[in-house]
Amino acid sequence: MGLVVGLFRKAREKLSIKRLEKEELASKPEETSISKTNDQAQQAGPGAVAIQANGSVNFGISKQDMAEILAEVVQLQVRYQAEAERKVEDRLSEIREDLLLTFADEKKANSEAFRDPDFQYMLGETQAAYARSGNQTVKNTLVDIIARRSKAAPQSREALTLNEASLVAPRLSEADYAVLSLCYMLRYTVHTGIQTPHELQQYLRTMVMPHVGIATSSQSTFWFLEAQRCGTLQIDQLELRKSFVRKYPTTVALGAKEEEFLKLVDETKQDIVRSLLRPSRRDRTLRQPRNASKDEFLDHAKRAGLNDQEAANIWACYVATIPSGDDFVAMLEQDVPGIGRLFELWENSPMKQFALNATGIAIGHANAVQATGLDAELSVWIN
């Protein structure tokens, strides 16, 4: 393309020289210029120049110049077309090699899917889309989508969603992928195995933070993702702190002194309360409920002998020790340096309002699998 631009720049230079010659002629100080040729007279106004010729007068590019330029452009086009075809073949070879390796593992993909015409059609379109892009992140995401599509039942909701995701994914950038993965991870997933601050720390470092440095906060990103049918911008906003509190309360609460819990019941039940508590995981001098979730604790407390209100009061006393505002971010920053960037990105962008649809979840999930090694079946969200 640079050579083509150079040819047309050369043509513009020729045109500029001829225009300059015209301007120099026109800048002569005579107020009136009269020329006689073959008994014909012309009169030009101030600052103008009179010209006569038997044929046409051309101050631009000559026909011969243009013919030479176009001939060179055609030659370049042929050469560039051959180069583009080689790139296409190289890219098709890349994605086919990755697919062969993936389908060689029966746990990752189902080779029987090749018998399905719909899968074959989807496979062809997906490979063509990558041939146009050449982006490695796009390739990796598409390979994951294809593999999961091979395991989905034909014409199932999951299969149809992955078909659509395979068409949309090649049109997205790496920043778009990161946005979808963050929305997917923070809005739609709950890791039941996270019960301690250390487990939360590992989750944030390995599954969430890798996307933060890539995602963008620009409004246009979310307009584009909405136009690509990945989700919708809603009026309601999801506060990130509330999301952590709802999903992982025992990992973000500090804990309270034992006497704060004991004063919520009468003396006859204080031993029961003591049996329901353990040292806080964030501060060993404080106490917290033994159970990792509210529902588990309320059920345990009721079986131990507390009534519903007493159990609810104890849990409320515990979650009241969760820091708020900047203190909450500062606490997590000690566990995960840089986590403040996630909160800034979330709060200062439309991300907090962006709700994914099935296609957005499928792409966000596929990118998270490739980027962070997420191990979760898509069928949990799309079935």
Alpha-carbon distance of 51 to 43, in angstroms, equals 10
- pLDDT per position as a tens digit, 64-120: 666 666 666 766 666 766 777 788 888 888 888 999 999 999 889 999 999 999 999
Confidence of residue 52 (pLDDT cuts 50, 70, 90): low
- Tell me which DSSP letter residue 62 carries: -
Angle subtended at Cα 80 by Cα 75 and Cα 82, rounded to the nearest 5 degrees: 100
Q: What is the dihedral of CA 208, 211, 217, 223, to 10 degrees?
A: -100
The overall average pLDDT reported for the chain is 85
pTM of the entire structure? 0.77
Residue 227 has pLDDT above 50, yes or no: yes
Any idea which of 35-49, 185-199, 232-246 has the lowest mean pLDDT?
Answer: 35-49
Burial class (CB in 10 A: 0-12, 13-18, 19+), 72: middle
Give mean pLDDT, residues 144-153. 94
pLDDT value for 193: 85
| Tokens at 264, concatenated | 């919520």
3-state secondary structure of 281: coil
- pLDDT per position as a tens digit, 304-339: 999 999 999 999 999 999 999 999 999 999 999 999
Give mean pLDDT, residues 198-208. 94
| Tokens at 216, concatenated | 């963008």
Query: Radius of gyration of the chain from Cα atoms?
Result: 35
Alpha-carbon distance of 45 to 33, in angstroms, equals 8
For residue 134, give the nearest of 85, 94, 181 by alpha carbon. Answer: 94
Residue 189 has pLDDT above 90, yes or no: yes
Alpha-carbon distance of 202 to 208, in angstroms, equals 10
Residue 129 has pLDDT above 70, yes or no: yes
- 357-366 in b/e form (b: 16+ CB < 10 A) is ebbbbbbbbb
- The separation between the first and the last C-alpha atoms of the chain, rounded to the nearest angstrom, is 47
pLDDT value for 43: 57
Beta-carbon contacts of 43 under 8 Å, excluding residues fewer than 6 positions away, are 32, 33, 34, 50
93 against 224, higher pLDDT: 224
pLDDT value for 380: 85
pLDDT value for 83: 74
CB contact at 8 A, 125 and 167: yes
- Tell me which DSSP letter residue 153 carries: P
* Sign of CA pseudo-dihedral 133, 360, 381, 149: negative
CB contact at 8 A, 221 and 231: no
